[in-house]
């Protein structure tokens, strides 16, 4: 065989994709207007970098839940990694997602813990996971059409938007601790995004965090004493659950929130990639249900798809599931290091404030993008009131307490979006008022909005 033949074979070997992924373009860049699809990947060094950025994006929320509830952070991170890997396997490597701690479990865990201790609370997490998996199985067998009917684009867009906007006070609380550090972090992310091309620009969030952390260290905002005392290697602490049916009523409403979050995630990724991912809806719910069940069985918090990672995908335009395998592997390795857990605890609030300002804002805008891409007609009073009420409830974080359980903005806003839409749509059709506009809407040139945007 000639040397030319050997060179040809060498080039082909170097361009072979990993299992299930094609190399996108030359593997080095994403041209304007393009996205890296779930079944594609960039070069492995770039994929690893983006996967690590996903790990960074979930830190603030994934570690905040165990800190609030008293669950071990390393254990939560361990089941987050395992859950992400299971999610990718069950969805056949076609739906990019990271499964991290769900804020929906904060109130139920607190209520159950006061009733029977942490073991009973973990039993509640297991029961919620089983219920979610059952819902996913129904969706998988019966199809997702009924979800489309229950949650049309105006509803899903509202849910995605209110999730991001509901988190705004969290970002602001972190910013107030160290406004200058937050500002430096935010500016670093913005400037890196527009000043650099290639992998540096794609890793703007991760690099911005590094810049913010360095700035905070110079200002004396970083305390490393806990890192020095922690060991390098060690297994997470596992705790077995115990079951008390009395807490089932506390955890059952969480399933509704998890369904909404998963559906919103699938719809958001579909909107950003231009792919029909509805056939994977049932698998996504089953996967999150199994991951939550496993987490509760070993001492971790319930899991959910992460809006923060949607923000990273929107910023990088890389939706490759390969990056999420990297994220899962990275999280698994890090969960085995107590020293790393201590290091995570040293990230200053100001740095997190700058990062979450960007990410949470992206989530809110993605909700509006769902409306735009589905051409939702807001001259229709049904659509207008659905979005208006749900978003205000989410942003203001309305709270409804039932005994020891409090339903807050995301859950109430989600319920309001679904309830108001179907109540108004049913009554308007019965009264024959469904075609009346809320206001004389028009677009430039005098064209009526209903002429260019079908009703949903």
Give the H or E element holding residue 22: strand 22-23
- In this prediction, residue 404 has a pLDDT band, given cuts at 50, 70 and 90, of low
Interval 318-355: pLDDT, tens: 888 888 899 899 989 888 888 876 777 777 888 888 88
Identify whether 8 is part of a domain: no
The total domain count for the chain is: 1
- pLDDT exceeds 50 at position 441: no
Beta strand 40-41 pairing with 22-23: parallel
- pLDDT exceeds 50 at position 275: yes
Rounded CA-CA distance 244/205 in Å is 43
Residue 298 CB partners (closer than 8 Å, separation 6+) = 75, 78, 79, 238, 239, 240
- pLDDT exceeds 90 at position 366: no
Rounded CA-CA distance 12/6 in Å is 10
φ/ψ of 149, rounded to 5, equals -70, -45
Contact (Cβ atoms closer than 8 angstroms) between residue 118 and residue 337: no
- In this prediction, residue 138 has a pLDDT band, given cuts at 50, 70 and 90, of very high
Identify whether 165 is part of a domain: yes
- In this prediction, residue 296 has a pLDDT band, given cuts at 50, 70 and 90, of very high
Q: Three-class SS of residue 275?
A: coil
Rounded CA-CA distance 280/39 in Å is 14
- pLDDT exceeds 70 at position 436: no
Identify whether 323 is part of a domain: yes
Virtual torsion, Cα 83, 87, 88, 94, nearest 10 deg? -160
- From residue 299, alpha-carbon distances to 60, 63, 98 in Å are 19, 14, 19
Q: What is the mean pLDDT of residues 193-216?
A: 79
- pLDDT exceeds 90 at position 407: no
- pLDDT exceeds 80 at position 6: no
Q: Tell me how crowded residue 149 is: count the other CB atoms within 10 A of its CB.
A: 9
> What pLDDT sits at residue 4?
42
- The structure tokens listed for 41 are 């990947």
- pLDDT exceeds 60 at position 440: no
Rounded CA-CA distance 349/213 in Å is 10
> What pLDDT sits at residue 27?
65
Interval 219-250: pLDDT, tens: 888 888 878 877 888 888 888 998 877 777 66
* Residue range(s) defining the domain that contains residue 317: 18-369
- The structure tokens listed for 316 are 């990088």
Interval 163-190: pLDDT, tens: 778 778 878 888 998 999 999 999 998 9
Rounded CA-CA distance 79/276 in Å is 29
Residue 137 CB partners (closer than 8 Å, separation 6+) = 282, 286
Identify whether 413 is part of a domain: no
- From residue 300, alpha-carbon distances to 89, 326, 384 in Å are 20, 21, 40
- pLDDT exceeds 80 at position 149: yes
Beta strand 442-443 pairing with 405-407: unpaired
- From residue 353, alpha-carbon distances to 130, 161, 395, 409 in Å are 35, 19, 18, 21
Identify whether 414 is part of a domain: no
Q: What is the mean pLDDT of residues 83-102?
A: 90
- Residue % of the chain over a pLDDT of 90: 21
> What pLDDT sits at residue 12?
45
- In this prediction, residue 81 has a pLDDT band, given cuts at 50, 70 and 90, of very high
Higher pLDDT residue, 48 or 111?
A: 48
Per DSSP, the residues of 331-365 read HHHHHT-HHHHHHHTTS-HHHHHHHHHHHHHHHHH
Burial class (CB in 10 A: 0-12, 13-18, 19+), 419: middle
Identify whether 150 is part of a domain: yes
35-39, 94-98, 110-114, 401-405: the lowest-pLDDT one: 401-405
- The structure tokens listed for 104 are 């929906």
Residue whose token pair is 């969480």: 254
Counting every residue, how long is the chain? 456
How large is the angle between the packed helices 281-298 and 73-90, nearest 10 degrees? 150
- Of 274, 208, 180, 284, whose CA–CA distance to 56 is shortest? 208
Rounded CA-CA distance 108/283 in Å is 25
Beta bridge partners of 305: 99
Identify whether 146 is part of a domain: yes
Q: What is the mean pLDDT of residues 249-265?
A: 77
Beta bridge partners of 402: 405
- Of 150, 165, 157, whose CA–CA distance to 418 is shortest? 150
Rounded CA-CA distance 358/190 in Å is 9
Output the average pLDDT for the chain.
79
Identify whether 252 is part of a domain: yes
């Amino acid at each position: 065989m000639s040397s030319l033949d050997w060179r040809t074979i060498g080039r082909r070997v170097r361009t072979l994709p990993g299992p299930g992924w094609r190399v996108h373009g030359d593997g080095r860049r994403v041209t304007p207007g393009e996205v890296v699809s779930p079944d594609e990947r960039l070069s492995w060094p770039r994929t690893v970098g983006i996967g690590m950025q996903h790990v960074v994006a979930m830190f603030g929320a994934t570690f905040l839940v165990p800190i609030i509830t008293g669950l071990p952070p390393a254990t939560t991170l361990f089941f987050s990694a395992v859950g992400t890997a299971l999610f990718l396997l069950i969805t056949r490597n076609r739906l990019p997602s990271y499964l991290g701690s769900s804020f929906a479990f904060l109130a139920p865990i607190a209520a159950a813990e006061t009733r029977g201790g942490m073991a009973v609370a973990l039993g509640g997490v297991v029961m919620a996971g089983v219920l979610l998996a059952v819902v996913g199985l129904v969706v998988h067998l019966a199809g997702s059409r009924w979800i489309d009917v229950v949650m049309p684009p105006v509803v899903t867009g509202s849910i995605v938007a209110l999730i991001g906007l509901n988190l705004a006070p969290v970002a602001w609380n972190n910013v107030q601790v160290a406004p200058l550090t937050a500002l430096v972090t935010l500016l670093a992310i913005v400037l890196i995004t527009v000043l650099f091309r290639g992998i540096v620009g794609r890793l703007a969030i991760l690099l911005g965090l590094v810049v913010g952390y360095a700035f905070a260290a110079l200002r004396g905002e970083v305390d490393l004493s806990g890192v020095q005392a922690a060991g390098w290697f060690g297994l997470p602490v596992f705790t077995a659950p115990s079951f008390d049916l009395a807490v089932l009523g506390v955890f059952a409403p969480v399933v509704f929130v998890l369904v909404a979050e998963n559906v919103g995630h699938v719809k958001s990724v579909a909107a950003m990639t231009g792919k029909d991912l509805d056939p994977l809806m049932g698998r996504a719910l089953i996967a999150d249900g199994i991951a939550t069940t496993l987490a509760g069985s070993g001492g971790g918090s319930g899991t959910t798809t992460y809006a923060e990672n949607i923000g990273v995908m929107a910023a990088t335009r890389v939706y490759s599931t390969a990056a999420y395998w990297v994220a899962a592997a990275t999280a698994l390795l890090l969960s085995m290091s107590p020293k790393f857990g201590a290091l995570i605890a040293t990230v200053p609030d100001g740095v997190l404030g700058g990062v979450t300002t960007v990410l949470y804002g992206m989530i809110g805008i993605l909700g509006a993008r769902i409306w735009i891409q589905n051409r939702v007609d807001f001259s229709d009073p049904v659509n207008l009131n659905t979005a208006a009420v749900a978003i205000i409830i989410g942003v203001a974080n309305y709270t409804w307490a039932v005994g020891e359980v409090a339903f807050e903005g995301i859950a109430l806003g989600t319920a309001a979006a679904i309830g108001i839409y179907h109540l108004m749509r049913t009554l308007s059709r019965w009264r024959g008022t469904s075609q009346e506009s809320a206001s004389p809407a028009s677009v430039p040139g005098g064209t009526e909005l209903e002429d260019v945007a079908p009703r949903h």
